[in-house]
Amino acid sequence: MNRVVYGHNALIYLRSLVVASVLASAVLVHAQDIHFGQFYNAPLVINPANAGDIEGDQRFALIHREQWRSAGSPFKTDAFSYDLPILAGKLGGGRYLGIGVHAFSDRAGATRFGDTQANLSLSYAIRSGDASLLSFGLQGGYGQRSAVFDGLRWDSQYNGAGYDPTLPTNESVPNASSGFVDFAAGILAKGELKSGIQWKGGVSTFHLNQARVSLFNSAEDRLVRRFNAHGELRIEGEKWIWSPKFFVAQQGASREINVGGLMHRRIGVDSRYTTDKNSSALYFGCFYRVSDAVVPTVQIEYKRKLMAGISYDVNISKLLAQTMYRGGMEISLQWIGMFSDKRLRLPKGLSR
């Protein structure tokens, strides 16, 4: 009788250990926040002070990332953002108030362990010189960390010949979730040198309150503060425009350093007085995420409004033997619009 009880308890312990191991591996993956190879196309993910910093009246952005498909269940990240500057005319002096919203979903593995979060960003920009600007940003939002155990495979679902999903699991492991409130802050500075080179740089801190995100009411599982620094230049040549960029993030023991750049050339001409002519552009670039991946990138801009980009992480990390250089693909789409174009709209069939 004692042997039967001991075996039953051992089986319960073993099953609990399996669930804990699945979650532990997912937690290790999510020890670092979401990140994108195209970090410059996810402005509110890296700094809330980026809200409203656009050449236009409004910006809508989507970005999708799928990573480690070659290693099994892929990690999928989707993010959306919308931001705009307001009160620029009323505040005067180059000042504006930026407002932005963004949301993301980050899932991994068979349990779809990960976070879903929505945030509101506010920024206030002031002139700090004749050709420079300083912006201060705050961000707050609500998120949920969850795991779904319905998709796990158990020993009772093997019929002797293989796995049969129609068989009952004979388990009662509940799905788990935990809600949290999250805050961030950042500073952005930008300007132009006498040589005509434009520059931009910022710093930000995420998870200021280090919210608890445990699925099992543990006080130890908290969002570790993430510190970001980013910057870029815009250098105009005779035919090509060069844009070197960098992004650095430190979160606990995890560090990400991403350096590289884009080059693009305008196609067509722009009209300052009429709406019939707007140039497009083709971008080529490459980034290096230190000790992790090389990220070649191509972007297409259509008539200064729509931007579509695609990049691929060529893995060069310690997992190279398992991944065979295969990392993750990333696709972005960005639209920048005007509420009203002050240029003259010509009748159809006429051009200037």
Greater confidence (168 vs 180) lies with 180
* 227 within a domain of the structure (yes/no): yes
The domain tally of the chain equals: 1
* 22 within a domain of the structure (yes/no): yes
What is the Cα–Cα distance from 87 to 34, expressed in whole angstroms? Answer: 32
* 345 within a domain of the structure (yes/no): no
Q: Tell me whether residue 100 is exposed, middle or buried, using C-beta atoms within 10 angstroms of its C-beta: 0 to 12, 13 to 18, 19 or more.
A: buried
Q: List the one residue out of 128, 119, 120 whose CA is nearest residue 98.
A: 120
Band (pLDDT 50/70/90 cuts) for residue 111 is low
Greater confidence (327 vs 263) lies with 263
Q: pLDDT at position 170, please?
A: 64
Q: pLDDT at position 279, please?
A: 86
pTM of the model: 0.81
Q: pLDDT at position 1, please?
A: 34
* 216 within a domain of the structure (yes/no): yes
Mean pLDDT of 136-143: 97
Band (pLDDT 50/70/90 cuts) for residue 339 is low
* 162 within a domain of the structure (yes/no): yes
Q: Are 227 and 249 in contact (CB under 8 A)?
A: yes
- Among 116-120, 192-196, 248-252, 258-262, the minimum mean pLDDT is found in 192-196
* 66 within a domain of the structure (yes/no): yes
Token look-up 């980026």 returns 50
The amino acid present at 159, given as its one-letter code, is N
Whether the pLDDT of residue 209 is over 90: the answer is yes
Range of the domain at 57: 2-337
Band (pLDDT 50/70/90 cuts) for residue 197 is very high
C-beta contacts of 270-275 below 8 A and 24+ residues apart:
270/304, 271/343, 271/352, 272/343, 273/343, 273/344, 273/352, 274/343, 274/344, 274/345, 274/346, 274/351, 274/352, 275/341, 275/343, 275/344, 275/345, 275/346
Mean pLDDT of 330-337: 93
Q: What percent of the chain has pLDDT over 90?
A: 49
Whether the pLDDT of residue 66 is over 80: the answer is yes
Mean pLDDT of 161-174: 69
Whether the pLDDT of residue 81 is over 60: the answer is yes
Band (pLDDT 50/70/90 cuts) for residue 206 is very high
* 313 within a domain of the structure (yes/no): yes
Band (pLDDT 50/70/90 cuts) for residue 249 is very high
* 277 within a domain of the structure (yes/no): yes
Band (pLDDT 50/70/90 cuts) for residue 113 is confident
What is the Cα–Cα distance from 54 to 336, expressed in whole angstroms? Answer: 8
Q: pLDDT at position 18, please?
A: 43
What is the Cα–Cα distance from 282 to 263, expressed in whole angstroms? Answer: 8
The CATH number assigned to the domain holding 131 equals 2.40.160.40
- Among 10-19, 46-55, 179-188, 293-302, the minimum mean pLDDT is found in 10-19
Q: pLDDT at position 172, please?
A: 63
Whether the pLDDT of residue 275 is over 60: the answer is no
Whether the pLDDT of residue 331 is over 90: the answer is yes
What is the Cα–Cα distance from 38 to 159, expressed in whole angstroms? Answer: 46
Query: 293-327, pLDDT tens digit by residue?
Result: 999 999 999 988 899 999 999 988 776 566 666 77
Residues constituting the chain:
352
